Amino acid sequence: MTLMTKTKSIVLPPLPYAEDALAPTMSARTMGLHYGKHHRGYVDKLNALIDGTRFAGTTLEEIIKATHRNAQQKAIFNNAAQAWNHMFFWNSLRPSGGEPSGMLAKAIDRDFGGYETFLKQFVDTGAQHFGSGWVWLVAGKDKLAIEATADAVTPMAEGKTCLLTIDVWEHAYYLDYQNRRPDFLKAVAENLLNWEFAAKNLAGAQH
Ligand code: FE2
């Protein structure tokens, strides 16, 4: 007899570091709630929404691209995109931070006039974004660009290559920084960005 086991099509990926590894920039309490409740919540809700639909058994990327800009499937898109965005966000960070090097450092100098200018523009774009959303470093055809997206919207859905992101929803910073979103963005951008991850994303886009 074969037992049918119900498998969830989308899984919550493990954090790439311990929950307290990004403190004090992001506290273990924030990480516990942000990853353990918010991120997990999007994954759980998505699995409930796609159960028994044509999306069951497909990948997050496929779901996001198929439901992008489809008003009928807004709930599926929102939860799928938030699941992907959070996974991408955790990988955009690392405890040791650092600065870009090699080809990526050259591209940042070329497109932003230097690393310090990039950091300021990245932080300012996230700080000035109205409401919930994300700030991204993306690679276009010939140049890098910074953009902010609202709510769950992700540049990936439009076929853009994402290099790094920071979550600017209030749940990302309120416990540690209260209403001071610019302080949160500055601290994360200066201390936690994973430029190796960004370089891998850039290299992947060029193949
Ligand atoms: Fe978040």
Per-residue H/E/C for 74-135:
HHHHHHHHHHHHHHHHHHHECCCCCCCCHHHHHHHHHHHCCHHHHHHHHHHHHHHCCCCEEE
| Architecture of the structural domain at 28-91 | Orthogonal Bundle (1.10)
Q: Which residue type does 24 have?
A: P
Q: Tell me the per-residue pLDDT of 73-124, one tens digit each, with 9 for 90 and over.
A: 999 999 999 999 999 999 999 999 999 999 999 999 999 999 999 999 999 9
User: Where in the sequence of the chain do the CATH 3.55.40.20 domains occur?
Assistant: 102-205
Beta-bridge mates of residue 146:
137
What does the pLDDT read at residue 9? 81
Q: Tell me the per-residue pLDDT of 45-71, one tens digit each, with 9 for 90 and over.
A: 999 999 999 999 999 999 999 999 899
What does the pLDDT read at residue 1? 45
Beta-bridge mates of residue 138:
145, 162
Nearest-angstrom CA–CA distance, 22 and 105: 24
- How far is ligand 1, taken at its centre, from the CA of residue 86, in Å? 6
- How far is ligand 1, taken at its centre, from the CA of residue 38, in Å? 6
- How far is ligand 1, taken at its centre, from the CA of residue 82, in Å? 8
Q: Would you place residue 206 in the very low, low, confident or very high pLDDT band (cuts 50, 70, 90)?
A: low
- How far is ligand 1, taken at its centre, from the CA of residue 73, in Å? 21
Whether 6 shows a pLDDT value over 90: the answer reads no
- Among 123, 63, 60, 116, residue whose Cα is nearest residue 88: 60
Q: Tell me the per-residue pLDDT of 11-47, one tens digit each, with 9 for 90 and over.
A: 999 999 999 999 999 999 999 999 999 999 999 999 9
What does the pLDDT read at residue 205? 78
> pTM of this prediction?
0.94
CATH T-level fold of 102-205: minor pseudopilin epsh fold (3.55.40)
Q: Which residues contact 4 (CB under 8 A, 6 or more apart)?
A: none
What does the pLDDT read at residue 81? 98
Give the pLDDT mean for 144-158: 96
- How far is ligand 1, taken at its centre, from the CA of residue 35, in Å? 8
What does the pLDDT read at residue 50? 95
What does the pLDDT read at residue 7? 56
- How far is ligand 1, taken at its centre, from the CA of residue 5, in Å? 31
Cβ atoms of 35 and 15 within 8 Å: the answer is yes
- How far is ligand 1, taken at its centre, from the CA of residue 32, in Å? 12
- How far is ligand 1, taken at its centre, from the CA of residue 33, in Å? 10
User: Where in the sequence of the chain do the CATH 1.10.287.990 domains occur?
Assistant: 28-91
Measured in whole angstroms, the distance separating CA 39 from the mean position of its chain's CA atoms is: 11
- How far is ligand 1, taken at its centre, from the CA of residue 50, in Å? 21
